[in-house]
Structure 1
Amino acid sequence: MIFKPLLHWMQRTSLVTQIVMALIAGIAFAFLWPSATPGVALLGTLFISALKAVAPVLVLILVMASISNHRPGDSTLIRPVLFLYVIGTLAAAIVGVFASMLFPSTLVLQTAATTSITPPGNVQEVLMALVLSAVDNPVNALLNANYIGILVWAVGMGVALRHAGEGTRKLLGDLSNAITVIIQGVIRCAPLGIFGLVAATFADAGTAALLGYAHLLTVLVGCMLFVALVVNPLIVFAKIRRNPYPLVLMCLRESAVTAFFTRSSAANIPINLALARRLQLDEDTYSIAIPLGATINMAGAAITISVLSLAAAHTLGIVVDIPTAILLCVVASVCACGAAGVAGGSLLLIPLACSLFGISSDVSMQVVAIGFIIGIVQDSAETALNSSTDIIFTAAACQAEERKNAAPI
């Protein structure tokens, strides 16, 4: 009997409200009962695991069904979305470089590198890893959540199945609807998952170490907030020609919050797909653009690479001229787009950017180690910006097309 009023309340209360309440409850729990947080942290672990488990299958089936049932003559908006992804990532890198010039950070380079992963030596290696991901075995791609490989196979199978019988294409549509129901059930558990994640995050004893990197974190998070609240809205305004903030703030509220605590763009793919469906965006577009954005649209990674690379340069007293700064923006953007193909993500691409200044691998790997120390905040903010930008730019492209079609001739 006690569960019936609770279920009724959950049905009447919006998911966003429940998540906000979970945030507050998680913070309070962490401070009042820090010794009990490992237990509730299991809720967060289960939530992330459920999202990661369903996301690869969701992307494969959704993209296959969308393409196989695509009506000839209907256009998709992948090209405009990709253009926005490129512009957004480059703009983020520029913001990171300029902020580092205005507010230079210095580091205490005495921390031993804590990772045994070998970083890529040049941009070609990063791009080659991305290409190899695209031709991965489909079963292996699903097992390792390689979304580039999953997308390639889903698009290929979807195109091939356009010539299949009506029954086969209807079956794919039914499978897509079925897995959508499953993911809706997982998302309804978001408040419990967020509660566990927040409690574990705030009770983490390692957060005290962040105080020594307060300036660096301020620059990093400040850049990401500037991109999220100023740069992205300007890009969206240029696309849709109306006030961008209702769309931007809604996407930040419903996508960035969960991405901040899950710290996984892959885990946030179902969240963004559900939001795209509620916004009534073109399914042929968002079913491909959202998972693609989770692998190549990395504004937050571009900021991380730029800021930490320049922090290393400033620490060593290296003067960075304008041409080198411009080159760093380009390299950071390219590296960020290929971060999905590199183990360790954006942090392991810092040595590549540092090589522009002649910084040795030993020193740059110490910077990577510092990145792991501040990762509890850096990675969370980076993922929130990366993932929310996927849905923002996809929605902007779709709404711009709607405005164009609705305009009087």
Structure 2
Amino acid sequence: MQKFGLLPRLILAIVLGIALGAYAPEFIVRILVTFNGIFGSFLGFIIPLIILGFIAPGIGELGARAGKMLGITAGLAYASTIIAGTLAFFVSSLVLPQMIEVGSFLTSGIADAEAANVKPIIELAFPPIMGVMTALLLAFTLGLGIAAIQGDTLRKFMNDFQEIVKKVITNVIIPLLPIHIMGIFANMTYGGKTAMILSVFAKVFVMIVLLHITYLLIQYTVAGSVAGANPFRLIKTMLPAYFTAIGTQSSAATIPVTLRQTKRNGINEDVADFAVPLCATIHLSGSTITLVSCAMAVMLLNDMPTTFTAMFPFILMLGVTMVAAPGVPGGAVMAALGLLESMLMFDPTLTALMIALYLAQDSFGTAGNVTGDGALATIINRISGHKLEKVSEEV
């Protein structure tokens, strides 16, 4: 199953869920609904720990690597992420209402937990040890404290804690997510609501991939203008990193390829060695486009307010919350679950649909992240006073 990628497993889970919802007896659907309730409660418990485990070590590590270029790189990465999210908001606001029926979750009963008439066999609750905002504040406090005191004890503890959280995501949450999605689709199919959801998936998927490509063109046009280089040549050299990321679904796992291709674009070696690994953890423009677009789709279907004043604070927080998101498939959406629940008021059903929408194209979001890192490295190279070396013709 390890060689069977997450996307194929997700597709298989959706197909099996539809089949079970259509043909299996109610008792089977109830078993899946029971699992969903327990798993959803566990997700609620682990979300504050994910926030704490991701953000505190990430901020502490940034502080430990303080230098002249750190602030510039972090600022560029954050600005790029916010611009990407803002672009996704405006495009989604214009396009999605033309593609999907606003409020159709409400009219079809998907948003109503009673609609499917399938109840769990048992219910178990795992209350989180702290609220999402408390976890965010504590993570910022610890991260800034680690950077300020330069002590090893707390840094090592938080790094070990981060590894524990990564293990939970890699070995528990990610393997069980397809079963969770299968249960969601079995329940929806049993209630006769699957066809609309699948049509939404397809439309949103196409829009998001086109947005990724558009934003990469914008990034490399700016980078090419700053560095005095042909943006299309720069993009061509970075294509191996793009396609590697589609396969790995991990910015961290793609770092060696991103680094090699960035240097082949003529970036100074020291600049590339600094910028690429750093941007792999703090520059998530592709993932932000995906998260904002998917959230907008789910909110429109549920007839929730999608004004700029409602969404922009969410976009601003996304740029911070996903810092040092683990290099595992689905890491960004796991880090964003707390914001979805606390800022956008997503309930467990909407959260599950959001996860399914996101994971369906996680590969392309990751590819957008790492390819965009090459554009930022080009800009940073010029700011640091270096000119592009002769671009290698080898791709």
**TM-score class, shorter:** 0.5 to 0.7
Distance 1:344-1:217 versus aligned 2 partners, 3 A rule: closer
Selected match of 2:359 from 366, 369, 375:
375
Q: In 2, Cα distance between the equivalents of 1:308 and 1:214?
A: 12
Q: Deviations over 1:218-268 (max 9, x none)?
A: 222122121112x212431453255423213321x1211111111111110
Distance 1:118-1:388 versus aligned 2 partners, 3 A rule: farther
C-alpha deviation, 1:339, in angstroms: 3.5
Aligned residue in 2 for 1:221: 209
Counterpart AA for 1:397: I
C-alpha deviation, 1:98, in angstroms: 0.9
Q: In 2, Cα distance between the equivalents of 1:226 and 1:364?
A: 28
Q: In 2, Cα distance between the equivalents of 1:117 and 1:283?
A: 49
C-alpha deviation, 1:279, in angstroms: 3.9
Aligned residue in 1 for 2:339: 352
Q: Deviations over 1:293-320 (max 9, x none)?
A: 1111101121122112222221121233
Aligned residue in 1 for 2:235: 248
Selected match of 2:304 from 318, 323, 339:
318
Secondary structure in 2 matching 1:272: helix
Matched, 1:85 2:105: no
Distance 1:342-1:308 versus aligned 2 partners, 3 A rule: same
Secondary structure in 1 matching 2:371: helix
Asked if the contact 1:89–1:302 (Cα under 8 Å) also holds between the matched residues in 2, the reply is yes
Distance 1:117-1:142 versus aligned 2 partners, 3 A rule: same
Q: In 2, Cα distance between the equivalents of 1:341 and 1:272?
A: 14
Secondary structure in 2 matching 1:284: helix
Alignment map for 1:39-58 (pairs within 5 Å): none
Aligned residue in 2 for 1:402: 386
C-alpha deviation, 1:111, in angstroms: 11
Secondary structure in 2 matching 1:390: helix
| TM-score, normalised with respect to structure 1 | 0.53
Secondary structure in 1 matching 2:376: helix
Counterpart AA for 1:347: V
C-alpha deviation, 1:391, in angstroms: 2.3
Secondary structure in 2 matching 1:86: helix
Q: In 2, Cα distance between the equivalents of 1:285 and 1:224?
A: 25
| TM-score, normalised with respect to structure 2 | 0.55
Asked if the contact 2:285–2:369 (Cα under 8 Å) also holds between the matched residues in 1, the reply is yes
Secondary structure in 1 matching 2:299: helix
Q: In 2, Cα distance between the equivalents of 1:305 and 1:78?
A: 26
Counterpart AA for 1:232: Q
Distance 1:343-1:254 versus aligned 2 partners, 3 A rule: closer
Aligned residue in 2 for 1:167: none
Distance 1:362-1:382 versus aligned 2 partners, 3 A rule: same
Q: Deviations over 1:309-357 (max 9, x none)?
A: 2222211212333322332332332333354499952223145135434
Q: In 2, Cα distance between the equivalents of 1:270 and 1:305?
A: 26
Counterpart AA for 2:377: T
Q: In 2, Cα distance between the equivalents of 1:227 and 1:344?
A: 21
Selected match of 2:222 from 204, 212, 235:
235
Counterpart AA for 1:353: L
Aligned residue in 2 for 1:270: 256
Q: In 1, Cα distance between the equivalents of 2:327 and 2:129?
A: 11
Selected match of 2:156 from 136, 154, 159:
136
Aligned residue in 2 for 1:99: 91
Alignment map for 1:125-204 (pairs within 5 Å): 125-126=135-136, 128-129=138-139, 135-136=155-156, 140=160
Q: How many residues align?
A: 263
Unaligned runs of 5+ in 2: 1-64, 114-125, 148-154, 167-194, 390-395
Counterpart AA for 1:90: I
Unaligned runs of 5+ in 1: 1-66, 68-74, 147-207
Q: Deviations over 1:32-52 (max 9, x none)?
A: xxxxxxxxxxxxxxxxxxxxx
C-alpha deviation, 1:124, in angstroms: 6.0
Distance 1:307-1:335 versus aligned 2 partners, 3 A rule: farther
Distance 1:318-1:388 versus aligned 2 partners, 3 A rule: same
Counterpart AA for 1:222: L
Counterpart AA for 1:370: A
C-alpha deviation, 1:381, in angstroms: 0.3
Q: In 2, Cα distance between the equivalents of 1:78 and 1:303?
A: 24
Counterpart AA for 2:215: V
Distance 1:315-1:211 versus aligned 2 partners, 3 A rule: closer
Secondary structure in 2 matching 1:330: helix
Matched, 1:387 2:373: no
Distance 1:383-1:316 versus aligned 2 partners, 3 A rule: same
Q: In 2, Cα distance between the equivalents of 1:143 and 1:122?
A: 20
